[in-house]
Structures are given as C-alpha cells and as structure tokens.
C-alpha cells in the first residue's frame, strides 16, 4: 500500500511551486505527468515512470491513453480507490474539465490544480466529477 512520506507537505509545495508558471506541454507538463509528479512528491512513487518519454504530442498522448483504457482507467489503476470529490484530501487526484477536455488535477486543500496554457489553473472543489484517494492506507 502506498503511504505518504513524512515530509510530503513540503515536497508537494515544492512540486507545485516549480510548476506554477510552466505552460502546458505534452509529455512534460500535461495533466497526467503533472498529477504523477505530485503523487511522486507525496509518496516517493512515480505512477507514470513507464510512460515518461512515450509521447510528445496530443496524438501520442491519445495513443498511450487508448492503450491504457482512457484517462479515468489510468487514474484508477495508478491511484487508490475512487472517492467523492467532496472528500478529497491534499494530494488526491481528481478529474475536471479544463478547456472542455477531461483533465487530471491535484487537490491542494483550497482548490484543484491542473496545467493550463500559462501555468497551473485553479478549479473549485465542485468542478471535479471524480476523484481518487492517493494513499490507500488513509481510507
């Protein structure tokens, strides 16, 4: 079972600060890799380790996602159990609509964050339609 590192709060804050102003970029700062980087900051485990470098475009990302069963299937396989988005805790991953597209986001306690055109974009708690508990030991 995945557990949070003892210093997860500072590691997550550092991860968010490093990515705050980075624009969206397929294969580097897209929603899947952003969420995976946040998960790695909190747990020390990178759920996207096997996919890094596998795509550099929207078409490439679509091929990888299709092979893995879609965005929601990727989240469900890599993360803990699905929960109500209203029950999200910092570090949990949710699904939001970002520019009309389904997108993984990370709950930070006040909002969901996901990569956007000019940096991280904020979403309200109620904008997530699904969410996954990051650490199974916290059910």
| Confidence grade of residue 136 (pLDDT, cut at 50, 70, 90) | low
Q: Give the pLDDT score at 135.
A: 75
| pTM listed for this prediction | 0.93
Buried b (16+ CB within 10 A) or exposed e, 38-65: bbbbbbeebbbeebeeebeeeeebeeeb
pLDDT tens, residue by residue, 59-102: 999 999 999 999 999 999 888 789 999 999 999 999 999 989 99
Least Cα distance to 30 among 48, 45, 44 occurs for: 48
CA 112 to chain centre: 10
Phi, psi of 132 (to 5 degrees): -130, 135
Q: Give the pLDDT score at 112.
A: 98
Give the homologous superfamily in CATH for domain 8-138.
Answer: endopeptidase domain like (from Nostoc punctiforme) (3.90.1720.10)
Give bridge partners of residue 116 from the DSSP assignment.
119
Question: Residue 110 pLDDT more than 50?
Answer: yes
Cβ-Cβ contacts under 8 Å for 5 (sequence gap 6 or more):
11, 42, 43, 44
Q: Give the pLDDT score at 99.
A: 87
pLDDT tens, residue by residue, 12-52: 999 999 999 999 999 999 999 999 999 999 999 999 998 89
| Confidence grade of residue 139 (pLDDT, cut at 50, 70, 90) | very low
Q: Give the pLDDT score at 134.
A: 85
Q: Are 125 and 85 in contact (CB under 8 A)?
A: yes
Q: Where in the chain are the domains?
A: 8-138
Least Cα distance to 132 among 64, 85, 63 occurs for: 85
């Amino acid at each position: 079972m995945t557990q949070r590192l003892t210093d997860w709060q500072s590691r997550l804050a550092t991860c968010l600060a490093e990515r705050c102003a980075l624009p969206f970029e397929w294969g580097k700062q897209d929603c899947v890799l952003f969420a995976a980087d946040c998960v790695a900051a909190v747990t020390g485990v990178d759920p996207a380790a096997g996919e890094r470098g596998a795509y550099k475009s929207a078409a490439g990302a679509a091929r990888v996602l299709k092979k893995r069963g879609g965005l929601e299937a990727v989240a469900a396989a890599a993360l803990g159990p699905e929960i109500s988005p209203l029950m999200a805790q910092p570090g949990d991953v949710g699904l939001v609509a970002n520019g009309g597209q389904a997108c993984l986001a990370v709950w930070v306690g006040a909002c969901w964050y996901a990569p956007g055109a000019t940096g991280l974009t904020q979403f309200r708690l109620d904008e997530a339609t699904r969410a996954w508990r990051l650490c199974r030991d916290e059910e």
